[in-house]
């Protein structure tokens, strides 16, 4: 089974230990209006026009091809580096590629995933033993979740699954002004954090990173307002968790 | 008869030389138009004094007689530079270094005593005379620096401060005698004995003062671009037994440059995978500030290539570099490594639009036609290198260990090594062009070769889409794709073969893939199949035209074949933002370590964001101290010509796209 990938970014120093290669899958159950990779909403090749030239988002890879791409930086994966699967939602697709995951493990490549956990539980069951670290986006747990197609119950039950596995987890809170920064939502998130006790929590104010992409896809560029440093500090204090950092991105 | 012809016939050579030197000076002072430059020469012609006697020692004495040698400040090193004195000979030995140990370990009288060569004896006498002149003109003053100067006559150096004063004395005479862009050598190594019992704090103070003294006459010392002074200090490095050498000075030179935040002098750090982590972190902390140094030179790649070329093993381990990055053996060489250039791109365009090229049926045919050009050029270069005659070289011979031992001058091949280096320009654009021709003409058959070349010849006019496709979609030099690496190595190895076939004379040639001429050397080159437009710059050293991950560029550079003779400077040049490095400091040091192991040859970083560069370009007065790396040197951004500024901005933007 082939995979539809929008980008393979080498020399990533975030999203896990060491030096990493991040693989962006196309296709996502959510529709976050602040998303910086809107080309990955749908699992299909997208043609677009840039300065009169036709270009595409998306390329199909076989497992072997993707394995070769990831292994190009093998010599830089010492110190715990490796691959980070992102997207879109990589956990929609990885369950069909346990062979690839197995091969990567055998070659000493660490595997991380960036996920919203808004996927069927079996998707996680199938791959969780291969994953060294989970970066989990906690976005919205109030009624507003519907606006981005998110199912909070699904996310929470999947979190339990990972808690049982004792996986290394980092929770990430993309803060969107006027959307998920209300006390109700932050209160629920606070409970989740304290209940699941992740290794780390990162909070950050979302930014207009994907402007050019929105334009090339003919989508409306979101108007996002940044939180001030003091507002971020207040949220940090509210969440009251020891291993919590404010990220710049 | 042309104006040039008339000048040649009627104007004495000495007048032309002098005018030319003043013209060069005028460039540095910022005169841009022809009229401004000529006015500068006319106004200043009589202000400059020239010394063109054949007797080098006599020239030196006459010049120093006319210089102001009064010591004004009792708290500074004694260092005289007079930019209005011209000691002109076009082929003066430059871009090398001297063996400073000779002036530290011996007095001038001892050096003379040990000499049998009359020219050398006279030169030591001249230096002695200069010392006397300095003492005589300051006889009413007393300070330790004057004592150090006095000691030059009969004693060897006793302390670090005295050693620095002696180095500065010789260094200033070299500059004044127009031996331009001479490096300082392996300072941490040859000053080792002076720092054994010193505390770091004491060393730092005197090092800082020394660096500032060297920096003072930065404008006078610069070549075509401000900052290009060649004042390079080599630090660290592998010993012959495989252990890594470093001492307190290795760290202090880097730390003090970081504190001073000046673009010159500069440090090159010889690196290896067994170097202390702490030293790599110190180097990174300095690089992070954006002053463009230290440049990292990978001993594990450089030394084997030098040994394979024919340098003795112990000598290869003792390498330094010419003004930018071209390796040669310290103390015993008379090697010019960056006076000659092989312009791969120019050679390519010489035949690109020829009738012969139109008949090519595949990439091999194209290469065959191209190789004929490289063949001719290697012949020409070999001849030029072997016909090269050193101008005044006695002073440099006096402080070359091999010449000192053989008592023969450089021009009489008194040095142990006499090979010349050639810097290579535009290979990246040739490789990218070949990939484009192969893809568009031979593989996808989108266009015939004649059609495609016509489009290129017309500067891609009306074919902007095709140009964008070539630039954005095709593989490029710098991508670690097997085909790209293979094609690049094919041309590198063919060039080696042709240099070998055409070898003659005592001077052997080595070449490299980094050239300072990436802007000036391509102004008259028409558009090329890689999408480069008429007159646009070539790639900077080993860099990629497309946004590319740093790991990918390092992998690519590590796979190039530098063996045998392709080691005359091969620098990976990458741009990063200060925020990126600040956020990822620890990981970046880990990356550097892995990259050394992976096997890049040399590496330099430009740490500045495109946003800062754009702001600095628009508001120069707010960014007076912004430093950037230009080629093998750093400079103040706002002192650069516009085309360099624009190119840096463009490169920064592309690079940011790759990692953010």
Whether residue B43 is predicted with pLDDT greater than 90 in this model: the reply is: no
Do A10 and B551 make contact, defined as CB atoms within 8 angstroms? yes
Interface with chain B: mutation pick from A76, A210, A211, highest number of B CBs within 10 Å: A76
CA distance to partner chain A, nearest, from residue B607 (Å): 17
First to last CA, chain B: 60
pLDDT band at B69 (very low <50, low <70, confident <90, very high): very high
Which pair of structure tokens corresponds to residue A138? 């906690």
Q: Tell me, what's the pLDDT at B333? A: 97
- What's the rounded Cα separation, in Å, for the pair B145 and B164? 10
List Cβ<8 Å contacts ≥24 apart for B77-80.
Answer: B77/B145, B77/B164, B77/B165, B77/B168, B77/B209, B77/B210, B77/B213, B78/B134, B78/B145, B78/B146, B78/B148, B78/B149, B78/B165, B78/B168, B78/B169, B79/B168, B79/B169, B79/B171, B79/B172, B79/B213, B79/B216, B80/B134, B80/B172, B80/B176
> What residue of A is the nearest CA neighbor of B473?
A55
Q: In sequence order, what are the residues at sequence separation of 6 or more whose Cβ sits closer than 8 angstroms to the Cβ of residue B255?
A: B204, B282, B286
Residue among B465, B480, B587 minimizing CB distance to A52: B465
What integer pLDDT is reported at residue A24 of this predicted model?
97
pLDDT at B89 over 80: no
Number of domains in chain A: 1
Closest by Cβ to B480, choosing from A14, A18, A72: A72
pLDDT for the residue B641: 85
Domain boundaries, chain B: 3-51, 56-329
Q: Examine the pLDDT at B660 and tell me if it is beyond 70.
A: no
pLDDT at position A124: 96
What residues of chain B lie within 8 A of the CB of A12, using their CB? 659
Q: Which chain A positions have a beta carbon within 8 Å of B280's beta carbon?
A: none
Given an 8 Å threshold on Cβ–Cβ distance, is B555 in contact with A53?
no
**Per-residue pLDDT at B30:** 66
Give the distance, in angstroms, between the CA of residue B515 and the centroid of all CA atoms in the same chain. 9
Contact across the interface for A75 and B465, Cβ inside 8 Å: no
Q: Do β-strands B266-271 and B232-235 pair in parallel, antiparallel, or remain unpaired?
A: parallel
Per-residue pLDDT, averaged over B331-353, amounts to 95
Question: Which segments of chain A have a pLDDT < 70?
Answer: 249
Instruction: Tell me which residue in B549, B598, B659 faces A75 most closely, judged by beta carbons.
Output: B598
| Contact list, A248 vs chain B (CB under 8 Å) | 579, 583
Residues 6+ apart with CB under 8 A from B444: none
Using the predicted structure, report yes or no on whether residue B15 has a pLDDT greater than 90: no
CATH of the domain at A190: 3.20.20.70
Residue B396 has phi, psi (to 5 degrees) of -65, -35
What was the pLDDT predicted at B657?
A: 78
More confident residue, B591 or B85: B591
Mark which residues 22-61 of A lie under 8 Å from B by CB: 51-53, 55
Minimum Cα–Cα distance from A56: chain B residue:
B473
Q: Which residues of A touch B549 (CB under 8 A)?
A: 9-11, 73
Nearest CA in chain A to B469: A53
CB contact under 8 A, A52 and B549: no
Q: Which A-chain residues 78-97 have CB contacts (< 8 A) with chain B? A: 78-79
Average pLDDT over residues B241-260: 98
Mean pLDDT on B293-314? 97
Segment B265-295, tens digit of pLDDT: 999 999 999 999 999 999 999 999 999 999 9
Kindly list the residues from chain A whose CB atom is less than 8 angstroms away from the CB atom of residue B578: none
Residue B616 has pLDDT above 80, yes or no: yes
Buried b (16+ CB within 10 A) or exposed e, B105-136: ebbbebbbeebebebbbbbbbbbbbbbeebbe
pLDDT value, residue A46: 93
Cβ–Cβ gap B659/A76 under 8 Å: no
* A73/B555 touch (CB, cutoff 8 Å), yes or no: yes
What are the DSSP E strand ranges found in chain A?
A: 3-12, 20-25, 46-50, 53-57, 59-61, 82-86, 110-115, 133-137, 168-175, 200-205, 244-246
Q: Residue B28: its pLDDT value, please?
A: 64
* pLDDT above 90: residue B71: yes
Per-residue pLDDT band at B42 (split at 50, 70, 90): confident
Q: Are the CB atoms for B596 and B298 separated by under 8 Å?
A: yes
Residue A18 forms contact with B (CB below 8 Å): yes
pLDDT (tens digit per residue) in A72-81: 999 999 989 9
Helix (H, G, I), strand (E, B) or coil at B628: strand
Q: Band of the pLDDT at B248, cuts 50, 70, 90?
A: very high
Nearest to B542 by CA among B574, B576, B575, B588: B574
User: Which tokens hold the place of A106?
Assistant: 């055998």
Residue of B nearest to A78 (CA): B594
Cα–Cα dist B555/A75, whole Å: 9
**Could you tell me which residues are beta bridge partners of residue B296?**
B269, B603
Percent of chain B with pLDDT over 90: 78
Residue B425 phi, psi dihedral angles, 5° rounding? -125, 135
Cβ-defined contact of A19 to B555 (cutoff 8 Å):
no
Write out residues 148-187 of A within 8 Å (CB-CB) of B.
none
Of B468, B472, B591, the CB nearest to A76: B591
Mean pLDDT, rounded, of chain B: 93
Q: Are B360 and B369 in contact (CB under 8 A)?
A: yes
Q: What is the pLDDT of residue B52?
A: 74
Best mutation site among A8, A14, A15, A19 for testing chain B: the one with the most B CBs within 10 Å? A19
**pTM for the structure as a whole:** 0.93
B141 at the A interface (CB within 8 A)? no
Nearest-CB residue to A76 (from B464, B468, B594) = B594
pLDDT of residue B659: 65
pLDDT of residue B249: 98
**Interchain proximity A11–B549, CB inside 8 Å:** yes
């Amino acid at each position: 089974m082939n995979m539809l990938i929008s980008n393979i970014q080498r020399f990533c120093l975030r999203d896990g230990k060491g030096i990493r290669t991040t693989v962006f899958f196309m296709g996502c159950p959510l529709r976050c209006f602040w998303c910086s990779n809107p080309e990955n909403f749908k699992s299909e090749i997208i043609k677009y026009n840039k300065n009169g030239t036709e270009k595409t988002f998306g390329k199909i890879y076989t497992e072997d091809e993707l394995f070769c791409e990831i292994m190009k930086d093998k010599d830089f994966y010492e110190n715990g580096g490796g691959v980070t699967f992102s997207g879109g939602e990589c956990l929609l697709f990885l369950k069909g590629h346990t062979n690839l995951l197995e091969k990567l493990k055998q070659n000493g490549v660490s595997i991380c995933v960036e996920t919203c956990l808004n996927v069927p539980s079996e998707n996680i069951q199938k791959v969780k033993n291969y994953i060294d670290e989970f970066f989990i986006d906690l976005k919205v747990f109030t009624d507003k979740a519907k606006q981005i197609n998110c199912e909070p119950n699904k996310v929470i039950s999947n979190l339990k699954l990972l808690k049982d596995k004792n996986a290394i987890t980092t929770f990430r809170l993309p803060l969107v002004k006027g959307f998920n920064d209300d006390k109700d939502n932050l209160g629920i998130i606070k409970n989740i954090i304290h209940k699941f006790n992740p290794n780390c929590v990162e909070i950050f104010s979302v930014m207009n990173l994907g402007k050019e992409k929105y334009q090339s896809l003919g989508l409306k560029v979101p108007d996002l307002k940044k939180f001030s440093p003091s507002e971020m500090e207040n949220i940090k204090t509210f969440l009251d968790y020891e291993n919590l950092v404010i990220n710049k991105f | 008869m042309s104006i040039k012809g008339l000048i040649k016939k009627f104007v004495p050579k000495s007048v032309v030389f002098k005018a030319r030197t003043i013209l060069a000076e005028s460039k540095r002072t910022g005169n841009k138009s022809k009229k401004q430059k000529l006015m500068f020469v006319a106004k200043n012609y009589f202000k400059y004094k020239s010394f063109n006697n054949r007797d080098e020692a006599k020239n030196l004495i006459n010049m120093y007689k006319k210089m102001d040698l009064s010591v004004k400040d009792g708290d500074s090193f004694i260092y005289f530079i007079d930019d209005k004195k011209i000691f002109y000979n076009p082929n003066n030995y430059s871009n090398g270094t001297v063996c400073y140990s000779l002036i530290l370990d011996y007095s001038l009288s001892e050096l003379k005593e040990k000499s049998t060569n009359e020219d050398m004896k006279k030169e030591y006498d001249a230096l002695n005379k200069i010392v006397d002149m300095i003492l005589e003109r300051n006889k009413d003053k007393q300070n330790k620096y004057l004592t150090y100067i006095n000691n030059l006559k009969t004693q060897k150096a006793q302390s670090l401060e005295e050693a620095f004063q002696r180095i500065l004395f010789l260094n200033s005479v070299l500059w004044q005698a127009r031996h331009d862009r001479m490096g300082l050598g392996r300072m941490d190594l040859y000053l080792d004995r002076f720092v054994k019992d010193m505390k770091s704090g004491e060393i730092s103070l005197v090092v800082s003062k020394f660096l500032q003294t060297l920096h003072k006459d930065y404008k006078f010392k610069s070549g075509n671009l401000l900052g290009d002074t060649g004042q390079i200090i080599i630090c660290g490095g592998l010993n012959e037994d495989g252990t890594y050498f470093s001492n307190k000075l290795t760290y202090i030179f880097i730390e003090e440059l970081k504190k001073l935040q000046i673009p010159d002098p500069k440090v090159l750090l010889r690196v290896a995978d067994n170097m202390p982590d702490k030293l790599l972190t110190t180097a990174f902390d300095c690089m992070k500030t954006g002053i463009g140094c230290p440049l990292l030179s990978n001993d594990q790649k450089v030394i084997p290539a030098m040994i394979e070329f024919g340098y003795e093993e112990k000598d290869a381990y003792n390498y330094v570099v010419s003004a930018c990055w071209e390796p040669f053996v310290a103390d015993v060489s008379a090697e010019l490594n960056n006076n000659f250039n092989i312009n791969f791109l120019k050679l390519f365009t010489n035949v690109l639009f020829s009738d012969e090229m139109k008949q090519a049926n595949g990439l091999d045919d194209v290469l065959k036609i191209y190789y004929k050009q490289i063949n001719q050029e290697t012949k020409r270069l070999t001849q030029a290198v072997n016909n090269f005659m050193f101008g005044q070289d006695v002073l440099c011979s006096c402080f070359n260990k091999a010449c000192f031992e053989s008592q023969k001058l450089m021009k009489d091949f008194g040095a142990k090594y006499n090979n010349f280096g050639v810097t290579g320009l535009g290979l990246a654009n040739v490789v990218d062009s070949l990939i484009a021709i192969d893809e568009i003409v031979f593989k996808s058959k989108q266009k015939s070769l004649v059609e495609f070349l016509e489009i290129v010849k017309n500067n891609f006019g009306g074919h902007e889409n095709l140009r964008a496709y070539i630039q954005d979609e095709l593989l490029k030099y710098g991508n670690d794709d097997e085909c790209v690496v293979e094609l690049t190595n094919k041309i590198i190895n063919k060039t080696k073969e042709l240099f070998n076939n055409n070898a003659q004379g005592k001077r052997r040639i080595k070449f490299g893939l980094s050239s300072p001429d990436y802007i000036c050397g391509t102004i008259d080159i028409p558009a090329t199949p890689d999408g480069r437009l008429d007159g646009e710059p070539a790639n900077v050293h080993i860099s990629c035209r497309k946004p590319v991950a740093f790991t990918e560029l390092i992998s690519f550079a590590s796979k190039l074949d530098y063996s045998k003779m392709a080691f005359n400077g091969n620098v990976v040049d990458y741009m990063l933002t200060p925020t990126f490095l600040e956020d990822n400091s620890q990981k970046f040091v880990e990356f550097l370590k892995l990259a050394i192991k992976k096997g890049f040859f040399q590496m330099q970083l430009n740490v500045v964001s495109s946003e800062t560069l754009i702001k600095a370009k628009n508001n120069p007065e707010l960014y007076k101290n912004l430093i950037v790396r230009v080629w093998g040197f750093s400079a103040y951004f706002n002192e650069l010509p516009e085309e360099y500024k624009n190119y840096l901005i463009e490169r920064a933007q592309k690079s940011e796209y790759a990692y953010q």
